[in-house]
Amino acid sequence: MKKKFFFFFVCVCCVFSGLYAQSSDARQTALEREKKGDRAGAAAAYEDWLKANPQSPEFTATLFHAADIHPDLVSSISLLEKYQALPQDRAAQSAIKSKTATLYEISGNLVTAQKLFESAYYANPGEETFPSLYRSARLLFELGETQKSEDHARLTANLCKNPVTKKRATFLLTRLMAADNPEGALRIALQLTEDAANPADNENIFLFIFHLADSLGRQPERSLALQRLAKDYPDTPEFRLASLSAGQNRSGAVTPFPTPSTLLGPLSPPAPPIGSAAAAQAAQTRAPAVPAATAVQTGSFSVRENAEYMVKDLHGLGFGAEIREAAGRTGAVYKVLIPLRQGGQDESQNLLIRLKEKGIEGFLLF
């Protein structure tokens, strides 16, 4: 009996040793491929490691790293969705949903991105996930669902303790308020810029103040906003937009709008390092080739009528917008796009800045 038990114990140890060896080999293979610049091969090897280590404390960090080094967004999103519900930890599930939502937002699918940000918050409601709820509110605002946007922004502004997220949510509420109470919105926006310890998003707020004060005929506030942009944010697109509106662009040339990578920053907050060697090697292989933009997306709606309203407005402003139907998770999605007829970076950047002058946010599609 003892011999049988000993034999069984040895067999179990051998199985686990083999799995551990395979797991270590998969990670080593991933690191070697990453070092050589084989991003797709490295991501595949990391996925082999993920399959073998679902309970590892390094699972989420490795998943994020594998998604980051994938050569295209579609593959990154597919990888994240495959393992979205695997971790038992609700915080990890929420983090994966939020990262997936970020990639959907960059790809221009705002409807799916919004739903995932909302789901990320409710999967683990609390201080750590209020940024996801704020991003849900911001996308709802851009999609025209103002009441739900206000609900999410108000919850964040009232309960979140992080001063940056709280300020951003309050500014979004201010933008929502401007339609019915522009004087009150102007007053609150000015107050938001007075906190010297928290300058987050001040360039956006000053541009908002500039345009709102201009529409109200409030010259002192308009001048103040322009002066602060010139002094504190001279290299930002917000200052250039205000300068153009104020007639201060003497050269007549529009400075190109920053590329999406400049505006959006990294695809997500940096994942915890897998190891010093991995971090050093990843730094050498992170920069993919820049694809060509084919269109600018200004909206994505689940109701076609809402998309038609936006197209009508854009036509009235001189933009050649059109609707393209795509399949979403819960049905058809109607995207409002402005095709780039000639292509090239200058055309896409100047189109973005023209849209922003009209108060419309656009996203490049590749």
Q: What is the pTM of this model?
A: 0.65
* Token pair of 99 as six digits: 């990262």
Contact 297, 335 (CB under 8 A): yes
Q: To the nearest 10°, the Cα dihedral for 219, 225, 227, 232?
A: 180
A 10 A CB-CB count for 324 gives: 15
The residues with which 23 forms a beta bridge, in sequence order, are: none
Contact 152, 135 (CB under 8 A): no
What residue spans define the domains of the chain? 21-83, 295-365
- Distance from C-alpha of 258 to C-alpha of 159, rounded to nearest angstrom: 34
- Distance from C-alpha of 216 to C-alpha of 200, rounded to nearest angstrom: 25
Residue-wise pLDDT tens for the chain (366 aa)? 544 444 444 444 443 344 444 455 777 888 888 888 888 888 888 888 888 888 888 888 989 988 888 878 888 899 899 888 776 688 889 999 999 999 888 888 889 999 999 999 999 999 999 999 999 999 998 888 888 999 999 999 999 999 999 999 999 999 999 888 999 999 999 999 999 999 999 999 999 999 999 999 999 999 999 999 999 999 888 888 888 888 754 443 333 333 332 333 333 333 444 444 444 444 444 433 445 667 888 887 778 888 888 888 888 888 888 888 876 656 778 888 888 865 555 566 677 777 877 777 777 776
* Token pair of 1 as six digits: 């009996």
Assign domain 295-365 one CATH number from 3.30.70.1070, 3.40.50.10210, 3.10.100.10, 3.30.300.10.
3.30.70.1070
